[in-house]
Amino acid sequence: MPRYKLTLEYDGGGLVGWQRQENGPSVQAHLEAAVERFCGERVTVHGAGRTDAGVHALGQTAHLDLVRDFAAEEVRGALNHHLRPAPIAVLAVERVADDFDARRSAKGRLYLYRILNRRAPLALERGRVWHVGPPLDGAAMQEAARHLLGRHDFTTFRDSLCQAKSPVKTLDRLEVERIGEEIRITAGARSFLHHQVRNMVGTLKLVGAGKWRPEDVARALAARDRRCGGPTAPAEGLYLVSVLY
């Protein structure tokens, strides 16, 4: 059976996340329905990451197997046609080896979190950024972010429902950059705990607002207790940028 790798973008607003669920439309369910309408095959589409409700993707990766052998461009065009009007686009399709697995073969994942830091309300970016009115100190947030780099027990930034076997992860990249009114936080690792990025962002926001000092983040990390961390940042500011293989 030919295996296909998909690269996707989607607007997570109005979706219950990647994973197929009974309580609303998901990215996985939309894709599987599009495949069935295209070629009549019922398949399972496997994603590289199970993004939550409201989380967006610029470069999510998935794979699927088909019985018939189609050209990659034909699969891309057909899926995009049958996905309408869902806010999902198949950017690329390629044939891959039978042992390729979108999740297990991944060597890294890159996320972006966007904060729009201004007093004025949102018009164009509603549902796509975290709107924070009071001024944030991006330099202090960057200083605090350095305490989280490397291999640590990230229990403080782990959701209580996380199913990972271990809270130990290696954070390869965590950068805070201000571009005008927008603060962009980029996080890179082989894999993340459930809500880890959003919990780290919520904590860094406390530093930016002057409620925490940068070294308080190190103490929170060392506590290995979710109650010692900051709040969970809203889903709408988070983007899965790319999956590395």
Tell whether 120 is covered by a domain.
Answer: yes
On whether both 139 and 205 belong to a single domain, the answer is yes
The answer to whether the beta carbons of residues 53 and 17 sit under 8 Å apart is: yes
On whether both 129 and 234 belong to a single domain, the answer is yes
Domain boundary among 53, 69, 96: 96
- Report d(CA 185, CA 144) in Å as an integer: 12
52 assigned to active site: yes
On whether both 151 and 240 belong to a single domain, the answer is yes
On whether both 228 and 130 belong to a single domain, the answer is yes
Reported as a single tens digit per residue, the pLDDT across 29-54 is 999 999 999 999 999 999 999 999 99
What are the respective helix, strand and coil percentages of the chain, to the nearest 5?
Answer: 30, 30, 40
3-state secondary structure of 224: coil
On whether both 136 and 175 belong to a single domain, the answer is yes
pLDDT band for 92, please (50, 70, 90 cuts): very high
pLDDT band for 89, please (50, 70, 90 cuts): very high
Tell whether 132 is covered by a domain.
Answer: yes
Check residue 147 and report its DSSP letter.
G
- Report d(CA 225, CA 219) in Å as an integer: 10
Domain boundary among 45, 71, 96: 96
pLDDT band for 190, please (50, 70, 90 cuts): very high
Q: Which domain holds residue 205?
A: 111-244
Tell whether 229 is covered by a domain.
Answer: yes
pLDDT band for 74, please (50, 70, 90 cuts): very high
Q: What is the mean pLDDT of residues 144-161?
A: 97
Per the prediction, the chain carries an average pLDDT of: 97
pLDDT band for 226, please (50, 70, 90 cuts): very high
**Displacement of CA 225 from its chain's centroid (Å):** 23
CATH code of the domain covering residue 232: 3.30.70.660
On whether both 87 and 118 belong to a single domain, the answer is no
pLDDT of the residue at 44: 97
On whether both 217 and 130 belong to a single domain, the answer is yes
Q: Which of 11, 52, 98, 225 is catalytic?
A: 52
On whether both 160 and 212 belong to a single domain, the answer is yes
pLDDT of the residue at 230: 98
Q: What is the mean pLDDT of residues 126-136?
A: 98
Closest Cα to residue 218, out of 165, 141, 148, 150?
A: 148
On whether both 156 and 236 belong to a single domain, the answer is yes
Reported as a single tens digit per residue, the pLDDT across 57-69 is 999 999 999 999 9
Element (H, E) at 80: helix 72-83
Tell whether 135 is covered by a domain.
Answer: yes
CATH code of the domain covering residue 16: 3.30.70.580
Rg over CA atoms, the chain:
19
Peptide bond connecting 134 to the previous residue in cis, omega within 30 degrees of 0: no
How many percent of the chain have pLDDT more than 90? Answer: 98
Given the structure tokens 């329905």, which residue do they identify? Answer: 33
On whether both 87 and 182 belong to a single domain, the answer is no
Tell whether 105 is covered by a domain.
Answer: no
Domain boundary among 96, 124, 140: 96
On whether both 73 and 115 belong to a single domain, the answer is no
pLDDT of the residue at 35: 98
Domain count, the chain: 2
On whether both 87 and 124 belong to a single domain, the answer is no
